Amino acid sequence: MPKLNMVKALNLALFEEMARDPDVLVLGEDVGVDGGVFRVTDDLQRKFGSQRVIDSPLAEAGIIGTAVGMALYGLKPVCEIQFSGFAFQCFHQIENHAARYRARSRGRFHCQMVIRMPYGGGVRALEHHTESEEQFYAHIPGLTMVVPSGPRTARALLAAAIRDPDPVIFFEAKALYHAAKEDVPDESETLPLGRARVAREGTDLTLIAYGAMLRVALEAADTLQSEDGASVEVLDLLTISPLDREAIVASVGKTGRAVVVHEAPRSFGPGAEIAASIMDGAFLSLEAPVRRVTAYDVSFVGFAREKATVPDAPRVVAAARETLAF
């Protein structure tokens, strides 16, 4: 069981999947010689050659558009968009085509492809390098939207995403890239897409989080346990869409109280669907309104002020206390 950080775990998954299936190739800006600006594709080009690990021109729609073509042919491209803030350049190729080709061609074609992007704050970077845009993908029919929460889930979910026959948007929290190491099994493993994971069991309140916010939720759960004696369940969504409503409803059905945490802006954000789905499925169990702890509805604030808007454990604790006291 090697202990790996998330960058290495993702790199391992790419190595394994490329070794396993010659149709898998990697495409993006600086993914080859440079190994990606975060080194997630490090050494892949040396191993698999520049035909399979392609340093593309600087054009996101070109990357996704050509990857769609490759996928229609039967290849399985794994694209890297250098930062999620630059994916709007290819949003039309994702929405118009990657997400729709199976339906449009009534199953004659499909797009087995993964679009990896680093997202979220925590890296002292400039505008468009710290935002959290999962909501835009979650709303598109035909897409699967995945956000791992650490090295082990990252490796297993990336393998699953690459093997999934449909397009997967794969968000990697930059704040987690080097945050912590985890044991990952020697053998390649996968996790099913579309399934949330109970990261911590509890009975009084459910915290729902994903990606880098899982740490925040777990930290808050600790505080609530130790300071308030509250038993807090923490759900790690892993897949945002299709949303695992069953797991969410099961947990909140039990606890009667929920707080959702995300880095994306609040309004019309993913927390809204989660809250609405809880109302749909667990209305009669709800003891308090579902609260959302999210970034504010502001655009980029500069990294010096990032901590004022990205949720942290104290904010989650405060919201949880209000929910528990409701």
Partner 1 sequence: MPRTVLEPRFQVEHLSILDSEGHLDAALEPTLEPGELRALWRAMLLGRRLDERMVRLQRQGRIGTFAPIKGQEASQIGSAATLRKTDWMVPSFRETAAMIMRGWPIEKLLLLFAGYLEGAEPAPDQHDLPITIPVATQLPHAVGLAYAAQYRGDDAVVMVFLGDGATSEGDFHEAMNFAGVWQVPVVFVCQNNQWAISVPLKKQTHSRTLAQKALAYGVPGLQVDGNDVLAVYAAAREAVDRARGGGGPTLIECITYRLGVHTTADDPTKYRSDEEVRAWERKDPLTRFRAYLEARGLGEPGLEATLDAEIAEAVRRFEATPPADPLAMFEHVHAEPPAHLRAQREDLARRLAARGAPSPADPGAAPPRATPMRGQRLTRR
Ligand X SMILES: Cc1ncc(C[n+]2csc(CCOP(=O)(O)OP(=O)(O)O)c2C)c(N)n1
Catalytic residue IDs:
129
Which one, 93 or 223, has the nearer CB to partner 1? Answer: 93
Which one, 180 or 279, has the nearer CB to a second copy? Answer: 279
Q: Which does 123 bind (CB under 5 to 8 A by kind): ligand X, partner 1, a second copy, none?
A: partner 1
What is the C-alpha R_g of the chain? 19
Q: Does 82 bind ligand X (CB under 6 A)?
A: yes
Q: Compute the least distance from the CB of residue 29 to partner 1, in Å.
A: 7
Q: Of 69-77, 81-89, 99-107, 226-234, which part binds ligand X (CB under 6 A)?
A: 81-89
Q: Does 95 bind a second copy (CB under 8 A)?
A: yes
With the C-alpha atoms ordered 314, 215, 168, 280, is the resulting torsion angle positive or negative?
A: negative
Q: Which among 206, 216, 182, 192 has a CA at the least distance from the CA of 312?
A: 216
Q: Which of residues 42-101 bind partner 1 (CB under 8 A)?
A: 51-52, 55-62, 64-75, 85-86, 89, 92-93, 96-97
Which one, 163 or 289, has the nearer CB to a second copy? Answer: 289
Identity at 287, one-letter amino acid code: E
Q: Compute the least distance from the CB of residue 122 to a second copy, in Å.
A: 20
Q: Which does 251 bind (CB under 5 to 8 A by kind): a second copy, ligand X, partner 1, none?
A: none
Select from 23, 62, 86, 225 the one that contacts ligand X (CB under 6 A). Answer: 86
Q: How far apart are the C-alpha atoms of 297 and 264, rounded to whole Å?
A: 9
Contacts of 279 (CB under 8 A, 6+ apart): 286, 290
Select from 265, 306, 311, 324 the one that contacts a second copy (CB under 8 A). Answer: 265
Please give the angle made by the CA atoms of 40, 214 and 186, to the nearest 5 degrees. Answer: 45
Q: 116 and 94 in contact (C-beta within 8 Å)?
A: no
Bridge partner residues of 293 (DSSP): 261
Q: Does 325 bind a second copy (CB under 8 A)?
A: no
Identity at 170, one-letter amino acid code: F
Q: 99 and 140 in contact (C-beta within 8 Å)?
A: yes
Residue that the structure tokens 């791992």 belong to: 148
Q: Which of residues 30-59 bind ligand X (CB under 6 A)?
A: 58
